Structure 1
Amino acid sequence: MLYFPYFRGRQYDLLALKNIAQQHVLPANIIPIIEPVRDIRALPQTVAAFIDHDQPVVVIANPTVSDYALTQQKLHDWRPYQDNPNLIVGHVLTPTLIPDSLTAPAGHRTLLIARQYDELKAAHHAGWLAASDYLLVPPEARIRQLLNRPTVSLFDHAWFPEHDRSYADIVDGFFSDDWTLADFNNYVGFSDYTIGGGHYSEHGYPAKAVTLHLTYFRGKQLRIHRFVSTDRDDFRHPKEKFFQAVAKLAAWLPQQPAVTQTPAAQQLAAYHEQQHFPGLGVVKRLSLEHHLQLMAQYFKENFPVD
């Protein structure tokens, strides 16, 4: 079983991945995907951390969100590392994709992401798909009927409240059990956008509440718990709202199994005792690190690498 957690290359996403690489907690069958969105130093530093610790990572060569792909002169380029076999070059299937780019040198792997059925069907009939080692596709019946090769399902499990709703409406809920259906649907693995979701916004959106997101397992089901600040009336006082939310987390975490009490989750809970506000970017980083630490332990126990 393979897991490809999908990240957009924002600053704190990359810092979470860099820390995880340095901790060397990921088994070989958990391979993060980075779609670059900004020309920042953290991008090559994160790729270097995976290379230096002999762990595989995917970087999308033709990112389709933000204007990163349009920047001709990259100040912080990841491509100097592409000769290392642990760097898997990924591509998003688009009408402008050149088939030759899907072919990798001997000993290197490639990954192809197909988000649209029509484009996938055209590439299938043209014979392009055989060149990629991993093919990520939406979990749709018509796609499974089209292809006769093992694939990886890609699905966005994150939920974002709309209009007058908030995370306080659903503080606990189902997140994923994609691995339980993988064999049945002939998938060799699964991919998702973790807790960050697949939607990309260059600047983000302000929120009246501060919400901390932690994934956890109940049996074979991955769930998500949301710790929402009590104050949700306006956009002010994020520090005070963080303390309201983290107090709920600090009360909840000790009641959970040891596997849920990851180092990242414990660090988040410690901010309640310390009464320290690290900033929402650090909170996001630790929530992502927790998810990867949790999934790493689950995979080591249930899908060990030979």
Structure 2
Amino acid sequence: MIYFPYFRGRQFDLQALKALAQQDALPANLIPIIEPVRDIKALPQTVAAFVDHGHPLVVIANPTVSDYQLTQQKLHDWRPWQANPLLITGHVLGPTTTPADLQAPAGHRSLVIARQFDELMAAQAAGWLTPTQPTYLLAPPEARIRQQLDRPFVSLYDHAWFPDHEQTYANLEDGFFSDDWALADFYGYQGFSDYTIGGGHYSEHGYPSRAVTLHLTYFRGNQLRIHRFVSDDREDFKHPKEKFFQAVAKLAAWLPAQPAATQTPAAQQLAAYHAEQHFPGLGVVKRLSLAHHLQLMAAFMKARYPVN
């Protein structure tokens, strides 16, 4: 069983991934996927960190969000590492996909993402899909796909919830997040994939928020849940520092009562900002929230699906 956490390749995503690779904190069956969205130095640095530390990584060769794909001359290119078998080149199935995109060179693995049922069925009808190529095929866990697809695949699902303009995360501070591994075990999937706590929607500039919210995943039994620590001040878009202290105070009070598995190094660092009364910036907060999720899932994968 493999877990493929899917990232859009923003600065804080890449910083979290790079640090975990350098710490050798991820098991071999937790393989992140990066869809590049910006031509930034952190992208090749992250790829190099994974390769240098002997850990597999997927990079999408034809990203479908942002204008990264339209940039002809990349200042910070990740492709020099393509010859290394630890780097898995991924493709999003679409109108410009060719059969060659689904194949991997000898000694390499390939990964294809099929977001649309019709495109997936067209690729199968054309004979592009075999039991072994691509190595990994990601698709929504729909009954019609299970019924029509004659090869194993990896389930891809977006679990993130975003409140509309009439709501805030304070309306749902705690809730179910995922148990995709149970579905994968039941149906015999190769693995499971999600967009982590960041969600599948991508915006180049993001959206302003009246509240500062810290997101932490945690396990309750075999269920992965998410707890949201929301600032009390939600009247306007001002004072992010003060709002952060309101939110992190709630996290610092909640964390000590949780099991040891939930008290990851990243979560403890977030809680420490309350004791220190230090505001690191919201980018660092997002990086640590993602790092916590990966540290939590790394421990889960090691315990439930150990690999040599």
Shift, 1:181, TM fit? 1.3
Query: In structure 1, what is the Cα distance between the partners aligned to 2:105 and 2:182?
Result: 34
Q: Scaled by the length of structure 1, what TM-score is found?
A: 0.99
Shift, 1:167, TM fit? 0.1
Hey, what does 2:66 align to over in structure 1? 66
The 5-angstrom pairing of residues 133-212 of structure 1 reads: 133-212=135-214
Hey, what does 1:86 align to over in structure 2? 86
Query: In structure 2, what is the Cα distance between the partners aligned to 1:132 and 1:188?
Result: 12
Could you tell me which of 107, 131, 134 is aligned with 1:132?
Answer: 134
Hey, what does 2:18 align to over in structure 1? 18
Hey, what does 2:251 align to over in structure 1? 249
AA of the residue aligned to 2:290: L
Report Cα offsets for 1:236-289 as digits up to 9, x if no partner: 000000000000000000000001000000000000000000000000000000
Aligned residues: 306
Query: In structure 2, what is the Cα distance between the partners aligned to 1:137 and 1:156?
Result: 11
Query: In structure 2, what is the Cα distance between the partners aligned to 1:128 and 1:188?
Result: 19
Shift, 1:163, TM fit? 2.2
Hey, what does 1:40 align to over in structure 2? 40
Shift, 1:99, TM fit? 1.5
Hey, what does 1:120 align to over in structure 2? 120
Report Cα offsets for 1:122-146 as digits up to 9, x if no partner: 0001111223100000010000011
Query: In structure 2, what is the Cα distance between the partners aligned to 1:170 and 1:100?
Result: 45
Hey, what does 2:225 align to over in structure 1? 223
Over 2 Å off, 4+ runs: none
AA of the residue aligned to 2:32: P
Hey, what does 1:111 align to over in structure 2? 111
Shift, 1:148, TM fit? 1.7
Query: In structure 2, what is the Cα distance between the partners aligned to 1:129 and 1:42?
Result: 34
Shift, 1:188, TM fit? 1.6
Query: In structure 2, what is the Cα distance between the partners aligned to 1:79 and 1:263?
Result: 32
Shift, 1:296, TM fit? 0.4
Query: In structure 2, what is the Cα distance between the partners aligned to 1:272 and 1:127?
Result: 57
Percent of pairs with identical residues:
78
Unaligned runs of 5+ in 1: none
Q: Scaled by the length of structure 2, what TM-score is found?
A: 0.98
Could you tell me which of 285, 288, 291 is aligned with 1:289?
Answer: 291
Query: In structure 1, what is the Cα distance between the partners aligned to 2:93 and 2:270?
Result: 38
Q: What SS does the corresponding residue of 1:182 show, helix, strand or coil?
A: helix
Shift, 1:185, TM fit? 1.8
AA of the residue aligned to 2:146: R
Query: In structure 2, what is the Cα distance between the partners aligned to 1:253 and 1:169?
Result: 21
AA of the residue aligned to 2:172: I
Query: In structure 2, what is the Cα distance between the partners aligned to 1:182 and 1:102?
Result: 23
Q: Greater shift after overlay, 178-187 or 291-300?
A: 178-187
Give the aligned CA root-mean-square deviation in angstroms: 0.7
Hey, what does 1:238 align to over in structure 2? 240
Q: What SS does the corresponding residue of 1:91 show, helix, strand or coil?
A: strand
Matched, 1:301 2:303: yes
